[in-house]
Structure 1
């Protein structure tokens, strides 16, 4: 097995002290008055011989691993996948490594992943928390580890939160359908009691109440296609549907196809959460788009700023505005009730 190169090997080969090598490789050459030419020769030689720093030893010296643990519901979901990619790029630029994993919105899975991240001594945490994770988040905070919650948060738990305007997004989407002449608007939402879902439900309900229209609500699970079919068959008066997640929208479109219903002629469709393919569908799907770029930048920026300044995170909730992307699936038509 090839011997691992150490700073002592480099010092001996360069005929300098190990302290000089350490200062150069840790970016402190100028601070220690080491000439730029010598520093460059040491860096070049270290690259040539394949030197790799001992991260365990470095973390013991500094108390930092420059790693961040991130938990999301499903990394394959377009929202979470895009957010993770943006945060990873920013973290890398600022000298951190971001490691992420999916919880399937299961608290026990999340607890096990947090144990792994804590064993690896992650410096900070970014979490889209599933229900039942309050005690673990509190334990991180009590140990002085910065935590930013995003997409959803835990009501009653003081924490640093970054979320989209879920209430406003659902309200705006429902108002759009009302303004286009639809009056029997159904909401298809998750059976989750998490804050982002309850806020979307409240936004829909307020817009419906203001318009003096009847609320028609289906709360369902992830395997929702048959539930949506049954809902449509029970409520033949429906002329529009608002789905509160992208995956529910996909199930809803399958249900409409099964019943041979067209959008928007038979029933208009709006999705909360845009999807990369919604603009390619026929008809293209109107969607509430979360500001993924801004959310990601805000989350990773707040966390790394806290780590770099060694100051606690402000326990506040940043609510970021959404946009409604209007496409053909919600176009105004001569509404004919089925």
Structure 2
């Protein structure tokens, strides 16, 4: 028979309420002695007692669960971020529920509704551009929400991003200072604000250095089929500017596909390259690539901290009302630069 609160309370000579408070982590808050709390926890552990999370959440108003929605779980960057978020959430006493939207707005909306139905305490989201309406609805409801990696500048929501424009500017300046005159820029999802910022950083660096922003060296890759579309873009660039001497990738995914293309075509990669985000395989495929390393650990920590702050604000509203001011965090990348000279 599965042990119950009633069984534990009867065995220890305590009320069910006292046992419930201890097992839900409210012993100190309810002024229950450490000795009593220790007795309850020890006996519950000996029985391998598992609390009824639904009943507990109805009692406390919390599930101690955070929802995380990513565009792709298979992407190494997002899997690293998920690991950091889970670690930080665990330190704060929360579990993590993860789902992938596959950058599909309908799936993303469905996941958000599912998370709300499961009463998760807050949501960390890497949004699609089209999810602005659903995000606005969460904001209006006062639902704890933090977006990471991407954001909507026009919405009053908390977000954690990197210094996209500045990182790309510094990387592009390094390519120019290394002797590059014809730098190809490969990007995708240009409708995202962060991708516009990355392109802006590269183009500002080129103009400042007196170089032309050549449309023949710009490649917009369709993310829906980026594996094949990268090849189309690179074919066009090499056909139009065969003496291209540098490549800038706005995301590591495009760089990895480009490396495969270079290998298939027998192209010697003696040109300078730069990329946003670093992945371990770069050490093998392109050890001299210049990268802006995204602060994965800081992103995960800041996202959970932001969400917990919103949760605490929501609790405080029941006692005294005051407006919540969203947190907008812009984290710097660390640059890893190389030179042929």
Give the Å deviation of 1:140.
Answer: 1.2
State the match for 2:160 in structure 1: 162
Give the Å deviation of 1:26.
Answer: 3.1
Query: How far apart, in 2, do the equivalents of 1:41 and 1:191 lie?
Result: 56
CA contact (8 A) 1:111 1:133 kept: yes
State the match for 1:242 in structure 2: 248
Match among 313, 332, 340 for residue 332 of structure 1: 340
SS of residue in 2 equivalent to 1:80: helix
Q: How does 1:7-22 map to 2 (within 5 A)?
A: 7-22=5-20
Match among 322, 326, 332 for residue 315 of structure 1: 326
- What are the ranges of 5 or more consecutive residues in structure 2 without an aligned counterpart? 317-322
24-33 or 187-196: which moved more? 24-33
Give the Å deviation of 1:42.
Answer: 2.2
- What are the ranges of 5 or more consecutive residues in structure 1 without an aligned counterpart? 334-338
The one-character-per-residue Cα deviations of 1:101-155 (angstroms, maximum 9, x if unpaired) are: 1112121110111111111011111111002111111111122211111101123
SS of residue in 1 equivalent to 2:129: coil
Q: TM-score, normalised by structure 1?
A: 0.90
CA contact (8 A) 1:229 1:255 kept: no
Change (3 A) 1:52 1:283: closer
State the match for 1:109 in structure 2: 107
Q: TM-score, normalised by structure 2?
A: 0.90
200-209 or 93-102: which moved more? 93-102
CA contact (8 A) 1:67 1:122 kept: yes
Give the Å deviation of 1:225.
Answer: 2.3
State the match for 1:300 in structure 2: 304
Give the Å deviation of 1:30.
Answer: 4.9
CA contact (8 A) 2:69 2:101 kept: yes
Q: What's the RMSD between the two structures over aligned residues? A: 1.9
92-101 or 30-39: which moved more? 30-39
316-325 or 190-199: which moved more? 316-325
Query: How far apart, in 2, do the equivalents of 1:73 and 1:45 lie?
Result: 43
The one-character-per-residue Cα deviations of 1:315-338 (angstroms, maximum 9, x if unpaired) are: 3432111122124xxx336xxxxx
State the match for 1:254 in structure 2: 260
State the match for 1:336 in structure 2: none
The one-character-per-residue Cα deviations of 1:303-323 (angstroms, maximum 9, x if unpaired) are: 112213436652343211112
Query: Is the aligned partner of 1:275 residue 2:282?
Result: no
Query: Is the aligned partner of 1:218 residue 2:219?
Result: yes
Query: How far apart, in 2, do the equivalents of 1:150 and 1:199 lie?
Result: 15
Query: How far apart, in 2, do the equivalents of 1:132 and 1:111 lie?
Result: 10
Give the Å deviation of 1:218.
Answer: 0.9
